[in-house]
Structure 1
Amino acid sequence: MRRVRRLRENLVAYLFLSAALICFALFAWYPIVRGVLLGFQQVTFAQPAEWVGLDNFRRLFADPLFATAWRNTGYFTLLALVFGFAAPFVTAVVLNELRRGQSYLRLTVYLPVMLPPIVTMLLWRWIYDPGPGLFNKVLDVLHLPAQQWLESENLAMVSLVLVSTWANMGTTTLVYLAALGGIPGELYEAAELDGASIRRRLWHVTIPQVRFILLITLLLQVIGTMQVFVEPFVLTGGGPNDATVTILLLLYRYAFVYNDFGLASAMSTLLFVVLGLFAGVYLRLTRNKG
């Protein structure tokens, strides 16, 4: 009787919860399971799905672009950690130290996030234009030679990382600002009384206090940058000479250029497993460091 009475008391809550679970199952878990199953099938528009086992994965490893895409994506992720992970934190620290105009500068930093991605890409395509582009105009003023930013194998990936950092750092900067705002002022006052310099206050007070946020954003950034697609798709198309072909760009080609959805699903399944394993290992290693 007690269980029945408790069920009646919480019936409305269970109904709301069941609706949320149904929506989550239909629009989150079902597509994931369906995508994994497609990785073991031959799927095209021309014929019904046919179970082929591990053939899609064998064809993946036999494709020369498969290794190239993973290498390029890893290189992009490494560059993004060098630029994109440090830039938001440094920006947040600088903004947090300002006493005037902080709200205006926060808005300025966040503005790129509010731009549609395609608008951002078209803007940076003009900036990188080898003729009248902004960067080459600046180099001309400085009497330096113009660069083929998106047409050079050495510069194309770095150029894409700069675009990604500029477009996405606003959200991370605001997260860091919120974390910095929660640090007790007494810690900085004690450090100043001890004669600590700005660098030592940053290293011994600021970073330890926001260590958990830094660890989480690092994980999210690795997962996000491993799935880079818009920048190479719009700006370089994977060129020059496949120097910017990424995992998701190759996956897009499999599905919508070669019309091989089984191969594309196998690629996405492999990426899902790799990122899942990385996240699990990372969380285990950093479990007691937050």
Structure 2
Amino acid sequence: MKSRVATKQNFIGKLFVAPPVILFLVFTLFPMIMAIALSFTDYDIINMPRFVGLKNFQKIVGDEFFWISLKNTCYYTVLYVPSGLFLSLGAALFLNSEKRMVGLFRTLFYLPVLSSSVATATLWFWILNPQLGLLNGILGVFHIEGPAWLYDSKLAMIAIVMMSLWAGFGGNMMIFLSGLKGIPQIYYEAAKVEGAGRWQMFKLITMPSLTKTTFLVSTMLIIGTFQVFDQAFVLTKGGPGNATITLVYYIYNNGFKNLNMGYASSISLILFLIILVMTLLNQKINKADI
């Protein structure tokens, strides 16, 4: 009787697990395998793939636009990841209480996360408009001449970072809030008895307790920055002067504009390896166990 019940439970469990496993195999694992295979071919979608060995990777070494897109992506990462961590953790610390209106602010901060990246980018396209934009309008109130954010090669990436921070920090804030809620209050009470101040409690209790949470958030931020596409596509189209063309944008141009799927797949493989290395480095820096 017990064996029948156990068999039935196992069968039901497998039924529940089957849909996500099938989706993972069809839409994640299979495309990954296909991308790796195509990276060694010359494939234009129309004709059959032609094996070319390592020629695509040799081409990458001398591809000026690949290095420009990699530099832009790294620049975006350097700007966005520390800012995203600081902003989301700061908001979580500020809202980690049961005071009135805290729930409202949590909701307001999280709302941009629910919007699509394309809709958010379209909104910010008008906010950053040099003549009619809200941001330059606010600067004008203080008699500051607002710049042409999206049309200046030095400011365009900074504008994209500002939009990304506004759109994404709410989700990371909620993760940090969950981590803060998991820290036993008895630690802080004991620290207060010992005469510790707020900074000491933050340094010796809060941050060590948030190691795994920080690793999770920072890893998600790093992966997200190296996959940035929608913002640059909607706001700047990679301009001005290739100042905001990113790796994924360059992959898109090669694969879907130039129909050079083999070369696009080879860049995708390089991007995967970069993200893997960055994740391992981040794990070592945060000293977190996966």
TM-score, normalized by length of structure 1? 0.91
* Alignment correspondent of 2:82: 82
Question: Which whole-Å CA distance do the structure 2 matches of 1:113 and 1:261 have between them?
Answer: 32
* Alignment correspondent of 1:103: 103
CA drift at 1:181? 1.1
Pairing of 1:203-222 with structure 2 (within 5 A): 203-222=203-222
Give yes or no for the alignment of 1:73 onto 2:73.
Answer: yes
SS in 1 for 2:150: coil
* Alignment correspondent of 2:277: 277
Give yes or no for the alignment of 1:119 onto 2:119.
Answer: yes
Tell me whether 245-254 or 41-50 shows the greater mean CA deviation.
41-50
Question: Which whole-Å CA distance do the structure 1 matches of 2:67 and 2:98 have between them?
Answer: 46
Tell me whether 22-31 or 270-279 shows the greater mean CA deviation.
22-31
SS in 2 for 1:239: coil
Q: Deviations over 1:202-233 (max 9, x none)?
A: 22221121121112211221111111111111
CA drift at 1:59? 2.0
The gaps in structure 2 that reach 5 residues or longer are: none
RMSD: 2.3
Tell me whether 177-186 or 126-135 shows the greater mean CA deviation.
177-186
The gaps in structure 1 that reach 5 residues or longer are: none
Change (3 A) 1:284 1:91: closer
CA drift at 1:191? 2.3
Q: Deviations over 1:34-87 (max 9, x none)?
A: 111111111113322111111112222222111111111001000012311110
* Alignment correspondent of 2:53: 53
Q: Is the 8 A contact 2:222 2:278 kept in 1?
A: no
SS in 2 for 1:254: helix
SS in 2 for 1:100: coil
Pairing of 1:81-230 with structure 2 (within 5 A): 81-97=81-97, 99-230=99-230
Identical residues among aligned pairs (%): 31
Counterpart residue identity of residue 160, structure 1 = I
Change (3 A) 1:180 1:113: same
Tell me whether 58-67 or 221-230 shows the greater mean CA deviation.
58-67
SS in 2 for 1:46: coil
Change (3 A) 1:116 1:15: closer
How many residue pairs get aligned? The number is 287
Question: Which whole-Å CA distance do the structure 2 matches of 1:19 and 1:219 have between them?
Answer: 27
Change (3 A) 1:257 1:185: same
Change (3 A) 1:155 1:192: same
Counterpart residue identity of residue 244, structure 1 = T
Counterpart residue identity of residue 270, structure 1 = I
* Alignment correspondent of 2:11: 12
Counterpart residue identity of residue 141, structure 1 = V
